[in-house]
Structure 1
């Protein structure tokens, strides 16, 4: 009986802190970006401020990473990322990435087409709350896109 108590106490001493750490761990996202693009660095800063652990790597060709992640070329951006087995392309807000990780849909990942003004990394310091309307697209394994979240335009 004493041995069993010791084993349970040892398990609690070692396993519970590890479990708590795993539950509180920050999501880790790998970002492959153009070294000369300021908006990429701003998007990385947005992710960090939103609680992500970011491993950013400057690359000459983000397309190689996009292809590796299975993201169709028509959603190409200046940065490609991977988190939790999903591809993330373009200026996708951190809240949508967190929702993706929580919901775990059967999909390639998320993409924001173009570089919408006011999306994360594309803010205008003169009008920090202004933004153009844009959609975050959920890209299915068949390459088809559907609106994952729509952002309304906000005037300056």
Structure 2
């Protein structure tokens, strides 16, 4: 009479077949997944991203929220947490009256504060003459990264010029307009 232990040892056939069958199934699925089902071999267009360097305080939560906002709309952010933001702002020619809590640089232009991503994208497409970048001075409630439920302050996105001056680039008067709608 065979014991239970002997049955397991003697009847080990299906135990080894299962992994082999599983291997065959996985291999076939892998081959099927690699088959090109489209005859014209067209790939979907790649989404272009814009590299941007963001300088911010390591403890600033609103800056981190703004970074998420721009990353969700086509920017690829590299973060530099720094305590001495004033040196960065001076290096890029941002006068104190146009400063905010973080500074970003993309394609040689400076972006100061909570600027909506769609405004930055339009600016980079237009590349206005004599401009060094854009600024949203201060920290307006309702701007990207500064959302507070249904509260929203109207604010201006300023175009910063090489001579240290600024002019209004865009008025943001609603939550929809800071989202590009």
Give TM-score, length-normalised by structure 2. 0.68
Q: Which residues in structure 2 correspond to 1:134-153 (within 5 Å)? A: 134-153=155-174
CA distance in 1, matches of 2:109, 2:138: 19
Aligned residues: 131
Alpha-carbon RMSD across the aligned residues, in angstroms, is 1.7
Q: Is the 8 A contact 1:130 1:153 kept in 2?
A: no
Equivalent-residue separation in structure 2 for 1:76 and 1:151 (angstroms): 18
Aligned-partner Cα distance in 1 for 2:57–2:64: 9
Structure 1: which 5+ residue stretches go unaligned? Answer: 1-19
Asked whether 1:121 is paired with 2:145, we answer yes
Q: Is the CA contact 1:63–1:76 (under 8 Å) kept in the aligned structure 2?
A: no
Instruction: State the SS of the aligned residue for 1:87.
Output: strand
1:45 alignment counterpart = 68
Residue in 2 that maps onto 1:104: 127
Distance 1:132 1:82 in 2: 25
Specify the alignment match of 1:4 in structure 2.
Answer: none
- Structure 2 distance, partners of 1:149, 1:47, is 18
Structure 2 equivalent of residue 34 of structure 1: 57
- Shift, 1:153, TM fit: 4.6
Q: 1:57-101: per-residue Cα shift (whole Å, max 9, x none)?
A: 100111111122222222121111101110110001101110110
Q: Could you state the TM-score of these two structures normalised by the residue count of structure 1?
A: 0.78
Runs of 4+ in 1 over 6 A off after TM superposition: none
| DSSP 3-state at the match of 2:171 | strand
Larger radius of gyration, structure 1 or 2?
Answer: 2
Measure the CA separation in 2 of the matches of 1:88 and 1:64.
15
How far apart are the structure 2 equivalents of 1:130 and 1:148?
23
5 Å-filtered alignment, 1:24-103, equals 24-103=47-126
Q: 2: CA distance between counterparts of 1:94 and 1:84?
A: 14
